[in-house]
Amino acid sequence: MPQIVSKEYFAQTRFLFHCHFKVKIPRDYGEDLLNACFEIAEDIDLRYNSYQPDSFFSLINRNAGNWVDVDEDCVSLLKSLKLVSDLTAGCYDITCMPLIKLWGFYRKDNLTLPSFSDVQEVLKLVDYRKIEIDGCRVRIGVNQEIITGSFIKAFAVDKVIAFLKESGVTDAIVNAGGSSMRALNDVSHASWKINFSHPISNISERLTIQNESFSLSGKSNNHLIIRDKIYGHILNSNTGFPSATEQVGVVTSSAFLSDVLSTALHTVDSVDFVSVVESLSSHINFNYFRVEGDGRKFSDICF
């Protein structure tokens, strides 16, 4: 939970992006500003969420193999996402939706593991390099499908924060489901304190953010249990199998980047982790921690 301070706040929560999306601002600004924040978030949901039938990404998916007209934000998102895929050697790949479907994360009655041969066959469709960009046109390969779950709610967080800044707000927090949040701070409220649980010990941990973002990726809230074994929903798109990582946290300048990086660092095998962090750090300034399945922890000085 955020730090409690003496000033009074307005907060509003709505269900968007399959999560509870919360905006909290000082009461002085009034509830109309909160409503305007949610208009922005709802517009992002309709325009860019791959689960919305008329979004740009849904149109790209439905027209796989053909060019689709998009806007500049869509192009900017894709360029950033492709860079992260490059820097993780393809472990993170937004065209992994066919794999997610194969593993049965959209079936309530799934009790069987996919065969190795089925995984290898579906992996042929997973390749971010087949996302083509020509101006404001985008094309993916035939039968490919993009999923926006690793970044779209955080993109909305950034858009809401940008609007709040333009409106003169200097103290606020926008929290998308507890897994991606961004803070604004001023001299009257220097930081926000964020609590989260260790994935294995369940001990409460805390960090402080100040005019920055924090995202948390893990398998505790979204997984399959097949033959008494837990399989998380975050997949390594090179192997086609769920990551063995328990949890990753990232602090950086934008919610979009923290959300993408927390997912990307979750996908990478432990033997490659240090080199991938070095590659990402050469392009993006961030802090991180990662908890392995056996409880080992990688982290930088921030954690």
What DSSP letter does each residue of 193-260 carry, written as one string? EEEEE-TTT--EEEEEESSSEEEEEESTTSEEEETTEEEES-EETTTTEE----EEEEEES-HHHHHH
The answer to whether 263 is annotated as binding is yes
The answer to whether 259 is annotated as binding is yes
Cross-strand pairs, 59: none
Q: Are 84 and 128 in contact (CB under 8 A)?
A: no
* Closest C-alpha among 124, 296, 119, 149 to residue 234: 149
Query: Whole-angstrom Cα distance, residue 237 to residue 89?
Result: 10
Q: Euclidean distance between the first and final Cα of the chain, in Å? A: 18
Number of Cβ within a 10 Å radius of residue 229: 9
Sheet of 172-176: strands edge to edge?
9-16, 19-26, 172-176, 180-184, 213-218, 247-252, 286-291, 297-299
The answer to whether 88 is annotated as binding is no
* Closest C-alpha among 251, 174, 253 to residue 265: 251
Number of Cβ within a 10 Å radius of residue 2: 19
Residue ranges of the annotated binding site for Mg(2+) are 150, 259, 263
Residue ranges of the annotated binding site are 150, 259, 263
